[in-house]
């Protein structure tokens, strides 16, 4: 029988699968305090492509879908014409 080199037969017993991955330059995003509870939110009905778009943007930006809709609506509100802003303000009770 041949002599075996025991150093070559040693296997790495260290298990790296359960160790957490640490990323130092990870972005920390905070949305402030939650103003509403889940039961206060109301569902809206949109076409399936729009729902997919909101879902995909939510996943890409790593933010809740209701935040994506909120940001989109605030951006849309900022583009209203003067007459549309008057109507919007009347509906808001300003």
Domain residue spans in the chain?
A: 62-94
pLDDT band at 59 (very low <50, low <70, confident <90, very high): very high
Q: Is the pTM of this model over 0.85?
A: no
Contacts of 6-11 spanning 24+ positions with Cβ under 8 A: none
Checking if the pLDDT of 50 tops 80, the result is yes
Checking if the pLDDT of 42 tops 90, the result is no
pLDDT band at 72 (very low <50, low <70, confident <90, very high): very high
* C-alpha to C-alpha distances, 50 to 39, 45, 61, 79, nearest whole angstrom: 23, 10, 16, 20
Across all residues in the chain, what is the average pLDDT? 81
């Amino acid at each position: 029988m041949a002599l075996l080199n025991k150093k070559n037969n040693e296997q790495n017993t260290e298990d790296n699968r359960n160790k957490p991955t640490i990323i130092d330059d990870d972005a920390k995003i905070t949305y402030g305090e939650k103003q509403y509870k889940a039961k206060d939110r109301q569902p809206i009905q949109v076409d399936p492509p729009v729902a997919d778009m909101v879902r995909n943007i939510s996943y890409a930006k790593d933010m809740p879908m209701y935040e994506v809709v909120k940001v989109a609506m605030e951006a849309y509100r900022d583009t209203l014409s003067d007459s549309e802003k008057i109507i919007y303000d009347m509906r808001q009770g300003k």
